[in-house]
Amino acid sequence: MKIGFIGLGNMGGPMAANLSAAGHDVTGFDLVTPCPEGVAKADNAQAAAQGADVVITMLPNGAILRSVAAEIIPVMAKGSCFLDCSTVDVESARAVADQAQVAGLLAVDAPVSGGIGGASAGTLTFMAGGTDEGFAMVAPLFNIMGQKAVHCGESGAGQSAKICNNMILGVTMIATCEAFAMADKLGLDRQKMFDVVSTSSGSSWSMNTYCPAPGIGPQSPADNGYNPGFAAELMLKDLGLSQQAAENIDADTPMGALAKALYAEFVENEGGRGQDFSAMLPRFEKRGRTS
């Protein structure tokens, strides 16, 4: 396929490189980041999009997605597909898909999980929203960039799945960290705590796969000085998107709201920016009930 790729940062760069390595003809554009090997450089977003079968965007937020979409939709070929893999608010995803469809294009929103490691290794998980026709057109690309793709429903369903998943993740990571810090104060050995909880009803991905305690459980960012991994500020972004959606649809999400407030405090006032989101454990270690 002829593919345009816009947004070649930490995630987009390796995703574009994997598509090129698999034999696709990839032309990329980024305001700042250079194109990876195998990806031809376009001078602007329109040049990357013109004549492409599929245009993939991997951008920081919904406002930027909307502005790039406004630029490229008018020059995209009828019947081609606008595939957005960024994590953005559900409303932006739906608005961009509507504009694309009005212009005679297919549109799929497909945010990812798996992080920078998954983007490089081609093992991302895609959660997709859009028509069957759109999903079928880009499914072969998901197979190259990732190991799993779930068609979740209509436009916006991919972003909906992503923010629900990450709201659970933020809440369970905080719960796991506060429980470890409390166990310390109770004099409980961390390894024993892991051995029990990881095989009991308190188990979760945060405990079993991504344990926030250094030296315990499988290798995780905790074993690497809490270098991300998945940075706390990205978790804060996703929790913000989930709260924005919850407000728009009048969903009661008290745990999600509290998780967002705690990550905001951590990132903005407690030195959490640039640390992995599991660095909530050393945060709780240092605290008592009132400070």
Interface residues with ligand NAD (CB under 6 A) are 6-12, 29-33, 45, 58-60, 64, 68, 86-87, 112, 115-116, 230, 234, 237
Q: Which is nearer to ligand NAD, 88 or 105 (CB)?
A: 88
Q: Which is nearer to ligand NAD, 49 or 216 (CB)?
A: 49
Q: Which one, of 184, 113, 103, lies nearest residue 147 by Cα?
A: 113
β pairing state of 112-113 and 124-130:
antiparallel
If you ran DSSP here, which 8-state letter would residue 83 be given?
Answer: E
**DSSP state string for 242-258:** HHHHHHHHT---HHHHH
Q: Which is nearer to ligand NAD, 91 or 184 (CB)?
A: 91
Smallest gap from residue 286 Cβ to ligand NAD (A): 26
Smallest gap from residue 135 Cβ to ligand NAD (A): 19
Strands annotated E in 39-131 = 40-41, 54-57, 81-84, 106-109, 112-113, 124-130
Smallest gap from residue 13 Cβ to ligand NAD (A): 7
CB-closest chain residue to ligand NAD: 9
Smallest gap from residue 195 Cβ to ligand NAD (A): 30
Task: Answer yes or no: 260 catalytic.
Answer: no
Q: Which is nearer to ligand NAD, 44 or 191 (CB)?
A: 44
Q: How far is CA 233 from CA 17, 229, 239, 270, in A?
A: 26, 11, 10, 12
Give, in degrees to the nearest 5, the angle at Cα 143 between 63 and 76. Answer: 45
Q: Which is nearer to ligand NAD, 116 or 139 (CB)?
A: 116
Active-site entry in 2, 162, 192, 286? 162
Hey, which residues does 57 pair with through a beta bridge?
Answer: 6, 84
Buried b (16+ CB within 10 A) or exposed e, 180-218: bbebbeeeeebeebbeebbeeeebbebbeebbbbbebbe
Joined tokens for residue 228: 């991300």
Smallest gap from residue 7 Cβ to ligand NAD (A): 4
Task: Count other C-beta atoms under 10 Å from residue 250's C-beta.
Answer: 6
Q: Which residues are catalytic?
A: 162
